[in-house]
Structures are given as structure tokens and as C-alpha cells.
Amino acid sequence: MAYSEKVVDHYENPRNVGSFAKDDDSVGTGMVGAPACGDVMKLQIKVNPVTGVIEDARFKTYGCGSAIASSSLVTEWVKGKTLDQAAALKNSEIAEELALPPVKIHCSILAEDAIKAAVNDYKQRHAAPAASAAVPETVN
């Protein structure tokens, strides 16, 4: 089976490979695995705490060419997006952009799961401030 040109491009020149420091407060991390093939993907986002916009992204994928290309593409796509926009990304958009064949659709699902997990991780780590702001203060 031949990979599409875009898959080969991302595979040979992956964008945004690497990782951010885990203790960085502005980072959300998503780590997911595909049970079918055992491939693993880690995707991280760096978020502007004031605007809620994703400013940077990194990935590390131990998997097939399509999984690497899907995660590389997602790190490019999410930059400049809000958390909700990034979480709304669909695997079908990835599969279409990369012209993935049916047997490789699960590789794009892995990338969708990874970005959702990264967004959720960031939101969970930052859930406290909004909640505490809602706590009424005693006014004298």
C-alpha cells in the first residue's frame, strides 16, 4: 500500500516533534494508544492562559507513518485555535487531508483522541480558578 504524498511529507519532515516540560503550567498533555496495533501517541499543547489560545504544540508518536503524519498535521492545525476549536477537530478532516485509506483511519482517530486528551488535561489542571472565582466572598 502506498502512502499519499502528504503522509510521506509529514513522515519525512515531521513538524513539532518533541515535548514540553511536564511541570509547565501552560501545558496540556494527551497520551493515547491504539489497541489494534499498539501504536502510542503523545501530544502536548501550550496555551496562553489569558486568551485560552493554543500557541504551540509538540508530539511524540511511536507508530506507523500515518500516525506520525496525523499527529504532525494536528500540531500544525491547532496552533492559533482555542481549546474548544481544537477539541472539535475531527479525525475525518485529518484522514481527508492526508488521503488515508480505510485501514489507516484508526491512525487519524488516534490523533483526534490525543488532541482531545491534551485539551481535557489542560482544562482539568485549570478548572480551579473559575470555580473559586464563583465562590461568594463575605462583604462587610
Torsion, Cα 126 109 54 63, to 10 degrees, reads 100
Cβ-based nearer residue to ligand FES, 83 or 110: 110
Catalytic residue status for 64:
no
Amino acid 95 reads: A
Q: What distances in angstroms separate CA 28 from CA 32, 48, 63, 67, one per listed residue?
A: 13, 11, 21, 20
Q: How many contiguous H segments (helices) and E segments (strands) does the chain have?
A: 6, 3
115 part of the interface to ligand FES, by CB under 6 A: no
Amino acid 90 reads: K
What residues numbered 86-105 form the site for ligand FES, per CB under 6 A?
104
7 part of the interface to ligand FES, by CB under 6 A: no
Minimum CB–partner distance for residue 50 and ligand FES (Å)? 35
112 part of the interface to ligand FES, by CB under 6 A: no
63 part of the interface to ligand FES, by CB under 6 A: yes
Which residues are at the interface with ligand FES (CB under 6 A)? 34, 36-37, 39, 63-64, 66-67, 104, 106-107, 110
